[in-house]
Amino acid sequence: MSNGNKEFYVGVDLGGTKILAGIFSLKMELIGVAKISTKATRGAEAVMDRIVRCIYDAVDESDLSLKQVKGIGVGAPGAVDPETGVVIFAPNLDWHDVELQKELNRRLDVAVVAGNDCNVSTLGVYEKEFNSKPRNLLGIFLGTGIGGGLILNRELFLGCNYSAGELGHMVLDPNGPQCECGNKGCFEALASRTAIFARIHSAIEAGRKTVLTEILGPDLSNLRSGDLRRAIRRGDELVAAIVEEAAVYTGIATGNLINIFSPEVVVLGGGVIEALGCEMMPTIEKVAREHVLDGTFKRIQITASKLGDYAGITGAAILARTKWH
């Protein structure tokens, strides 16, 4: 592995709470990973420095040198110009017109390509899990926020302003909670990890009981999606009800999107689904079926991604390989 040939790609998944980097071979075999917190409140420059640190950690974990890396792909939240790699707007990072691709290229002296994180994740799922076979595929990813990606006629669909797939900002309840984007009742404000956690905190403040306070303390410091799964399996009715409501909203959104696009496959992923797929997927599929037009659900598959948390880094590495292979 130390022959110095440029035969590896790096995939980076930049999220609102964490940065994940993976090293891949030419055949897209995962060799090593590294993860650190994003710390978005420190600002764009500090976050980009942390991305660089995470990449170096992943390279070191793989016993490689950055000189052996042919290209780096980055999936970033929000609207990303695929030509320039500029993050036009990322509400969960509070970024506006950040030159992510250019700055990472300067810091690392390796070719970098950037795209929207959920578009990139959809690309990873499409190629790695489905071998690029479905003609049309829809990806829905529940994490800190909610995003999606569209494969239409076997190509990633970006739209005229590169913001296609922003499924999290479709309004499901105009009288619902405020979203980071400025609207009310967005899918993201109702079913993301941020929304689920906010509802739990509000319920506790209102005097509701949950085993989460026994597990984590009264302020729920370091609350994670996996804690919700543990609470549900211990019979926590509050957490179960809040997660169930998020699943219902996800099912409604899924049904709406099936009515619009009629894809062969709908794949759900992201940290929330990875942690709570067993609890949420049956409700999501049931509610989606209830909202799809009669007779139009035939041959449509709704499934959870098997790549889990690695969908983003896999797709980002594929993005880099596609550009420079």
What are 267's strand-pairing partners?
139, 303
Rg (CA), the chain: 19
- Which domains, from first to last, does the chain contain? 8-122+310-324 (3.30.420.40), 132-305 (3.30.420.40)
Burial classification of residue 213, based on how many CB atoms lie within 10 Å of its CB (0-12 exposed, 13-18 middle, 19 or more buried):
middle
pLDDT of residue 73: 98
For Cα atoms 80, 83, 86, give the angle at the middle one, nearest 5 degrees. 40
Per cent of the chain over pLDDT 90 is: 86
Percentage of the chain with pLDDT > 70? Answer: 99
pLDDT higher than 80, residue 3: no
Task: State the pLDDT confidence band at 4, using cuts at 50, 70 and 90.
Answer: low
Q: What is the pLDDT of residues 212-256, one digit of tens each?
A: 999 999 889 889 999 999 999 999 999 999 999 999 999 999 999
Residue 194 pLDDT exceeds 80? yes
Residue with tokens 């003609």: 135
Read off the pLDDT band of 191 (50, 70, 90): very high
Mean pLDDT score, 263-287: 96
